[in-house]
Amino acid sequence: MSSIKALTALLLLAPGIKAAIPQVEGFTLTWSDDFVGTAKSLPDPANWIVTTGTSYPGGAPNFGTGEIQTYTSKPENLALSGNGTLTITPLRDSAGAWTSARIETQRKDFVAAKGGKMRIAGSIAMPDITGTEATGYWPAFWTLGGAFRGVYTNWPIVGEFDILENVNGLDKVWGTLHCDVNPGGKCDETNGISANSPCGNGTKCQGNFHTFAIVVDRSVSPEKITWEVDGKIYQTVTETQLGSELWATTVHGGCFILMNLAIGGSFPNNVLGSTTPIEATRPGVPMRAEYVAVYNSI
């Protein structure tokens, strides 16, 4: 038995060997993408929309965050690796202009059924860069309420679950709920209800794959959302905190999933205490994803 376990471990670590999307006890896999495909190709268009430019049509400039990059669909910014990962790479041209990539799921109906649970998870490696060179880096894995798509002016009442955010190459992850009105409201916008945590498994966040997840639990009373990194819960928000009406608006509608790597903007600026990026910020260090998966209990 020990030799079988050792062989399995070697296979999982070998280059080019793609680990399966994990099963989760008590849940059924609803949707997933393992990013298997030809090197330098875009992610599966049946699953993903590639967002380009600096705003949604009619939406806030710079996507409402002050981020400075332009999103593109160029393989230099967004591509499958050919080894079962997706890479999002920020680049800077000779004039100092930044480009990067942002994708969102075609589906916008991911939801926890009444009496059930939904788990959204991804195996993601933050850009392997720290210190001054990482100033302004802002990778994210998150959701928006499905009602946002096509309207683009109804944030934050549509709800936003930030499953993973990281800024400036710091060795920790933030998880946040956005809701209600801006500014202020029950979610204290634009801050949101937020917490942060180190990554698990004894390894730093940068450059290593970690599992980031939320669980929307409608099987309990009060209902709740939990944020996890590598299986450890580090934040819980309950229905009681928002009130039943706002909770239903925020949680009971469908949502879509996004991944992006922004450069600059309000979050990295606020954490640093000054404007980002800076001259020393180094381009070309990618965010990588092994899979994204949605599970439901019923």
Give residue 68's domain range. 24-296
Whether the model clears a pTM of 0.85, i.e. scores above it, the answer is yes
In a domain, 1, yes or no: no
Pick the closest to residue 297 from 18, 24, 17, 26 (CA basis): 26
Taking each continuous run of H as one helix and of E as one strand, the counts in the chain are: 4, 18
Question: What one-character DSSP code corresponds to residue 246?
Answer: H
Whole-number pLDDT of residue 20: 83
Whole-number pLDDT of residue 9: 43
Pick the closest to residue 56 from 102, 88, 91, 98 (CA basis): 102
Whole-number pLDDT of residue 154: 98
Pick the closest to residue 159 from 100, 225, 218 (CA basis): 225
In a domain, 132, yes or no: yes
Q: Average pLDDT, whole number, for the chain?
A: 95
Name the domain count of the chain: 1
Query: Could you give phi then psi for residue 284, rounded to 5 degrees?
Result: 90, 10
User: Each residue of 114-158: pLDDT tens digit?
Assistant: 999 999 999 999 999 999 999 999 999 999 999 999 999 999 999
Distance CA 97, CA 257 (A): 27
In a domain, 252, yes or no: yes
Whole-number pLDDT of residue 12: 43
In a domain, 263, yes or no: yes
User: Each residue of 14-72: pLDDT tens digit?
Assistant: 445 565 899 999 999 999 999 999 999 999 999 999 999 999 999 999 999 999 999 99
In a domain, 12, yes or no: no
In a domain, 286, yes or no: yes
Residues of the chain with pLDDT > 90: what percent?
A: 93
In a domain, 75, yes or no: yes
pLDDT higher than 80, residue 7: no
Whole-number pLDDT of residue 5: 40
User: Each residue of 214-253: pLDDT tens digit?
Assistant: 999 999 999 999 999 999 999 999 999 999 999 999 999 9
- Tokens 């930030």 correspond to 162
Whole-number pLDDT of residue 47: 99
* Partner residues linked to 118 by β-bridges: 216, 296
pLDDT higher than 60, residue 213: yes
In a domain, 16, yes or no: no
User: Each residue of 149-195: pLDDT tens digit?
Assistant: 999 999 999 999 999 999 999 999 999 999 999 999 999 999 999 99
Tell me the CATH number at 263: 2.60.120.200
